[in-house]
């Protein structure tokens, strides 16, 4: 079995340089990284992470906790995170909390047991006590945690403002806003605030449809949407809290013979790939998922290195006009 | 800091029982599991996985390697795997190979370093030598590996047969089949064989569009589809190798003013959530992703326990008729 020393000899480098590459510490040139990679491959060397993490304070693994792997927004976020983590020498331990706080708490404990370098939390129902005494960085995405290290959000409030302004400018006078989850409090709730402010100022009434987290977890809003649109035939504009909800609204409108955008206009949120695959294509609020993911990984990397971090980072959103308005 | 002994005392159980729960070995009643869980929570106990995996042969972690996290098919598969793994006391280490064999090989090495209990491989471009001398189970999904432990597939050939029969029964006489990747050989290629057999027998010609793996990785087929449908106005039936391709075909038809299903009929593959969100909704070949995921996790669990496994398992597919045929 090959040892670290064998790898160093094969690569023509010192063992301390090889060790730096393996542990991803300090400056390492691409050339050096390549040489070490080739030597590892040639000798079929497997560093023993278990032994290493006993010696070291932590592994090069990031615990990524999401509420919902198959939701297109999180799928896109995970994909981006994984790519940026890989670039920075980290691996991802993926935890799917399925929106339950028990599972979220259990996964947080697991991350600590595995000595992850840090946690990126995109789920937020765990009791705060779980985080007590944690000495690794916790970066939150679209969540705010009093005792977290730093958070990355999009400008949810502005998203709500843009949606209301657009629908009203299109002539809508009876609005429906779908998606805030009644049982959870999160930054996405600010979308409702921004939406409400504009509606109040322009004196346009709106119905708010507060959903349950079971709907969110199953991505199944059709029944709720159908009964609401049937009971309120006056509705002429819908602002949905995700593109998944917006796409389902389109299908329900079709079923009820409501033409979009002629009779009802729809605006989604996220701008995931589904938005361009519906007919008509979705007008939506674009979240910079790629930039947000990159920022979260970079922050974690900086936090591990002991750098001072901005506590709360809010990235801009913008309206992408397609065919539902 | 709480120890295993403290947990046992708190739970009113022996340390060996607590150890069995933590290591997921032998029969454990739900009641025992619950007691241990509560004691762990109360005492804020974190078993040290690093120390444990040095003592034990492996961790309770499954290395899951996929080519593409944000592809709806893999997103759904990951979500199901995670749920079944959790039920069986395993955690998922997610690796996104991004369709490159370098990354796939690197992740396989990483899984070994982390002493995973086994690997579930949904990606298949790695050189076979990487698997030489591996003494943990390797379960493949929709891939076949000569030196793998066991594979789970859907009946791809039958999917191709069902699609061709349906399109021809609908009156299509100039078919297009999209999606086989030229540079990779995989069980999904059998779809083409089944499709071809039926077309040959019924003497219906078809054009086969072989794609590049870069298109697969970026999920971007629109340009290719547009130039093909423009150059071949006689095409009246399309069999796409995924719902993502089928949904993009719908958008391209719309752009070219080709009505679906009147002028062109379309059949997708997978039956992921996107299939019911397009207009018209997609007729598609349903893959039993949930059952396949469950089976893969169970097989891995059995393999870890030293049980004899079926080498190759093929699950049935069926045609879901919606509105594009």
For position B47, what pLDDT does the model report? 66
User: Residues A243, A183: one domain?
Assistant: yes
For position A52, what pLDDT does the model report? 56
User: Residues B33, B95: one domain?
Assistant: no
Helix (H, G, I), strand (E, B) or coil at B275: helix
With respect to residue A55, please indicate whether it lies within any of the assigned structural domains: no
CB-nearest to B247 from A51, A75, A277 is A277
For position B287, what pLDDT does the model report? 96
CB-CB neighbors (< 8 A) of B254 in chain A? 279
Instruction: Print the SS3 string covering A152-172.
Output: EEECHHHHHHHHHHHHHHCCC
More confident residue, B236 or A305: B236
Contacts of B125 (CB under 8 A, 6+ apart): B67, B97, B99, B100, B101, B104, B184
For position A49, what pLDDT does the model report? 59
For position A67, what pLDDT does the model report? 86
CB B149 within 8 A of CB B141: no
Confidence of residue A148 (pLDDT cuts 50, 70, 90): confident
Q: Quick one: average pLDDT of A158-171? A: 98
Can you give the pLDDT of all 325 residues of chain B as single tens digits? 677 888 889 999 888 888 777 766 667 788 888 888 888 888 877 766 555 554 555 678 899 999 888 889 999 999 999 899 988 889 888 888 887 788 888 888 888 877 899 999 987 666 667 777 788 899 999 887 777 789 999 999 999 999 999 999 999 999 999 977 777 778 888 999 999 999 999 999 999 998 877 777 778 899 999 999 999 999 999 999 999 999 999 999 999 999 999 999 999 999 999 999 999 999 999 999 999 999 999 999 999 888 888 989 999 999 999 999 9
User: Residues B190, B218: one domain?
Assistant: yes
B279 and A276 within 8 Å at the Cβ level: the answer is no
With respect to residue A322, please indicate whether it lies within any of the assigned structural domains: no
Q: How many helices (H) and strands (E) does chain B have?
A: 12, 12
With respect to residue B212, please indicate whether it lies within any of the assigned structural domains: yes
Closest chain A CA to residue B112: A46
Q: CB contacts < 8 Å between A and B, how many?
A: 151
Domain containing B173: what range?
156-288
For position B48, what pLDDT does the model report? 63
Could you tell me which of A90, A60, A81 has the C-alpha nearest to residue A294? A81
CB-nearest to A109 from B46, B83, B98 is B46
For position B53, what pLDDT does the model report? 53
CB-CB neighbors (< 8 A) of A270 in chain B? none
User: Residues A32, A80: one domain?
Assistant: no
CB-nearest to A46 from B68, B70, B112 is B112
Burial B152-176 (b: 16+ CB within 10 A, else e): bbbbbbbbbbbbbbbbbeeebeebb
Q: Residues A5-57: pLDDT tens digits?
A: 888 899 998 888 887 777 666 677 888 888 888 888 888 777 665 555 545 55
User: Residues B203, B260: one domain?
Assistant: yes
CB A161 within 8 A of CB A197: yes
Please give the mean pLDDT across all residues of chain A. Answer: 88
With respect to residue A238, please indicate whether it lies within any of the assigned structural domains: yes
Its sign, for the CA torsion A278, A280, A285, A286, is positive
Confidence of residue A212 (pLDDT cuts 50, 70, 90): confident
CB-nearest to B79 from A48, A51, A96 is A96
With respect to residue A113, please indicate whether it lies within any of the assigned structural domains: yes
With respect to residue A52, please indicate whether it lies within any of the assigned structural domains: no
CB-CB neighbors (< 8 A) of A50 in chain B? 49-50, 53-54, 59, 114-115
A274 and B277 within 8 Å at the Cβ level: the answer is yes
Which residues does residue A207 pair with via DSSP β-bridges, in sequence order? A176
User: Residues B230, B125: one domain?
Assistant: no
Is 80 exceeded by the pLDDT of residue A183? no
A50 and B276 within 8 Å at the Cβ level: the answer is no
User: Residues B148, B260: one domain?
Assistant: no
For position B218, what pLDDT does the model report? 76
Q: Residues B296-308: pLDDT tens digits?
A: 999 999 998 888 8
Which residues does residue A93 pair with via DSSP β-bridges, in sequence order? A63, B93
User: Residues A89, A234: one domain?
Assistant: no
CB-CB neighbors (< 8 A) of B219 in chain A? 273
With respect to residue A15, please indicate whether it lies within any of the assigned structural domains: yes
Closest chain A CA to residue B255: A279
Closest chain A CA to residue B78: A69
Closest chain B CA to residue A54: B50
CB-CB neighbors (< 8 A) of A278 in chain B? 277-279
The total of structural domains in chain B comes to 3
State the smallest CA–CA distance between residue A200 and chain B in angstroms: 33
CA atoms of B36 and B18, how far apart (whole Å): 7
User: Residues A293, A283: one domain?
Assistant: no
Which residues does residue B312 pair with via DSSP β-bridges, in sequence order? B151
For position A142, what pLDDT does the model report? 86
Closest chain A CA to residue B50: A50
* Beta-sheet pairing, B91-96 with A91-96: antiparallel
Which residues does residue B296 pair with via DSSP β-bridges, in sequence order? none
**CATH code for the domain in which residue B258 is found:** 3.40.50.2300
For position A111, what pLDDT does the model report? 86
**CATH code for the domain in which residue B26 is found:** 1.10.260.40
CA atoms of A27 and B212, how far apart (whole Å): 36
User: Residues A170, A268: one domain?
Assistant: yes
What six digits make up the tokens of B213? Answer: 């793996």
With respect to residue B54, please indicate whether it lies within any of the assigned structural domains: no
User: Residues A160, A280: one domain?
Assistant: yes
For position A144, what pLDDT does the model report? 75
For position B92, what pLDDT does the model report? 87
User: Residues A182, A278: one domain?
Assistant: yes
A109 and B279 within 8 Å at the Cβ level: the answer is no
Task: Render A184-221 in DSSP notation, one character per residue.
Answer: ---GGGHHHHHHHHHHHHTT--EEEEEEPHHHHHHT--
Task: Render B56-100 in DSSP notation, one character per residue.
Answer: SS--SEEEEEES-TTSHHHHHHHHHHHHHHHHTT-EEEEEE-TT-
Closest chain A CA to residue B133: A44
For position B207, what pLDDT does the model report? 95
Q: Residues A52-99: pLDDT tens digits?
A: 554 555 678 899 999 888 889 999 999 999 899 988 889 888 888 887
Confidence of residue A1 (pLDDT cuts 50, 70, 90): low
Residue B49 CB coordination number (10 Å): 26
């Amino acid at each position: 079995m090959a040892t670290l020393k064998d790898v160093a000899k094969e690569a023509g480098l010192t063992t301390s340089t090889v060790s730096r590459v393996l542990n991803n510490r300090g400056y390492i040139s691409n050339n050096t990284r390549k040489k070490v990679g080739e030597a590892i491959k040639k000798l079929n060397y497997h560093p023993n992470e278990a032994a290493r993490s006993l010696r070291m304070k932590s592994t090069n693994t990031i615990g990524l906790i999401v509420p919902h792997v198959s939701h297109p927004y999180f799928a896109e976020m995970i994909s981006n995170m994984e790519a940026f983590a890989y670039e920075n020498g980290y691996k991802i331990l993926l935890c799917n909390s399925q929106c339950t706080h028990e599972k979220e708490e259990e996964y947080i404990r697991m991350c600590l047991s595995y000595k992850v370098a840090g946690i990126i939390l995109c789920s937020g129902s765990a009791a705060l006590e779980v985080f007590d005494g944690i000495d690794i960085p916790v970066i939150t995405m679209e969540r705010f945690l009093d005792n977290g290290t730093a958070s990355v959000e999009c400008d949810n409030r502005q998203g709500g403002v843009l949606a209301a302004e657009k629908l009203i400018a299109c002539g809508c006078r009876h609005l429906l806003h779908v998606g805030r989850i009644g049982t959870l409090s999160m930054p996405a709730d600010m979308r409702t605030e921004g939406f409400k402010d504009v509606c109040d100022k322009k004196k346009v009434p709106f119905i708010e449809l507060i959903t349950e987290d079971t709907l969110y977890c199953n991505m199944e809003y059709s029944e709720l949407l159908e009964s609401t649109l049937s009971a309120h035939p006056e509705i002429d504009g819908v602002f949905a809290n995700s593109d998944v909800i917006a796409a389902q609204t389109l299908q329900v409108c079709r079923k009820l013979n409501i033409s979009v955008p002629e009779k009802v206009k729809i605006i989604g949120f996220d701008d995931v790939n589904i938005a361009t695959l519906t007919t008509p294509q979705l007008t939506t609020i674009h979240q910079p998922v790629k930039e947000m993911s990159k920022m979260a990984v970079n922050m974690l990397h900086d936090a591990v290195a002991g750098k001072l971090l901005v506590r709360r980072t809010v990235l801009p959103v913008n309206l992408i006009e397609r065919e539902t308005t």
